[in-house]
């Protein structure tokens, strides 16, 4: 039995009202980036493509279903309650960060494909690209993926509907 359209409209209105309180925990992002960098470096050093697969899967899964983001869950359920990492919540849009992670996941996936095809230099080069961009974000606070997202938003591309919070 189909839901009446009135219910759907109410759900959409609810979604719009919570968008006014857009917050992002920067500590969760930093922990996520640190894990991505750490595991990616380990994958390269051990020449283990399956570790790279693991990183790619975690990134892509976390993008598609944020509640399944493994590294963020480790932060939420282990690091933060233990007091090892303090939350740093700021007003921000989560979408650009998801896009950045998704883009990174795609690059890692392409790297894995290259590695499995025997193109070692290309494959690890792509993994190192993700390491470099994650390090840029972690240590300098510059999110390249977020920058790209907002540029695409300026161009009015569909799917990039969120503008910078003013």
Partner 1 sequence: MIERILITTLLILIGTGAYAVFKRRHVQVLRKLETAVSQTPTILYFASKSCAACPSQARYLDQLVSQWQDRVEVQKIDAEVEPETAVKYGVFTLPTTILIDQQGDVREINYGLTHTQKLTQQVARLA
Site for partner 1 in 98-127 (CB under 8 A): none
Query: For residues 24 and 110, which CB has a smaller minimum distance to partner 1 in the complex?
Result: 24
Instruction: Tell me which stretch binds partner 1 (CB under 8 A): 51-59, 64-72, 74-82, 134-142.
Output: 134-142
Select from 77, 88, 120, 151 the one that contacts partner 1 (CB under 8 A).
88
Q: Which stretch binds partner 1 (CB under 8 A): 11-19, 72-80, 85-93, 100-108?
A: 85-93
Question: Does residue number 61 form part of the binding site for partner 1 (CB under 8 A)?
Answer: no
Question: Per CB under 8 A, does 141 bind partner 1?
Answer: yes
- The residue count for binding partner 1 (CB under 8 A) is 22
The answer to whether the CB of 97 falls within 8 A of the CB of 143 is yes
Among 7, 46, 84, 157, binds partner 1 (CB under 8 A): 46
Q: Which is nearer to partner 1, 84 or 132 (CB)?
A: 132
Residue in the structure block whose two tokens are 């590695």 = 115
Which run of H or of E encompasses 90? strand 89-91
Residues 155 and 50: their CA atoms lie apart, in Å, by 38
Q: Quote the Cα angle for 104-105-110, to 5°.
A: 95
* CA dihedral sign of residues 51, 57, 58, 63: positive
56 phi, psi to nearest 5 deg: -60, -45
Q: Least distance in Å: CB of 166 to partner 1?
A: 4
Q: Pick the closer one to partner 1 by CB: 50 or 142.
A: 142
Single out the residue of 90, 116, 117, 157 in contact with partner 1 (rule: CB under 8 A): 90
Q: Residue 73 is encoded by which pair of tokens?
A: 């869950």
Cα 99 to Cα 57, 65, 74, 81, 82: the distances in Å are 15, 12, 21, 27, 29
Give the footprint of partner 1 on this chain (CB under 8 A).
24, 26, 41, 44-47, 88, 90-93, 128, 132, 135, 140-142, 163-166
């Amino acid at each position: 039995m189909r839901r009446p359209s009135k219910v759907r409209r109410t759900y959409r209105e609810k979604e719009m009202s919570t968008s006014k309180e857009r917050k992002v925990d920067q500590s969760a992002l930093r922990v996520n980036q640190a894990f991505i960098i750490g595991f990616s470096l380990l994958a390269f050093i051990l020449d283990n493509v399956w570790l790279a697969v693991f990183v790619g899967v975690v990134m892509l899964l976390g993008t598609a279903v944020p509640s399944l983001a493994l590294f963020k869950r480790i932060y939420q359920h282990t690091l933060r309650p233990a007091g090892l990492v303090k939350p740093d919540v700021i007003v921000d849009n989560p979408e650009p960060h998801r896009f950045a992670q998704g883009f990174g996941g795609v690059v890692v996936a392409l790297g894995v494909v290259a590695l499995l095809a025997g193109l070692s230099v290309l494959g690890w080069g792509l993994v190192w690209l993700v390491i470099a961009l994650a390090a840029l974000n972690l240590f300098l606070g510059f999110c390249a993926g977020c920058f790209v997202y907002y540029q695409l938003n300026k161009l009015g591309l569909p799917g990039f509907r969120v503008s910078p919070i003013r």
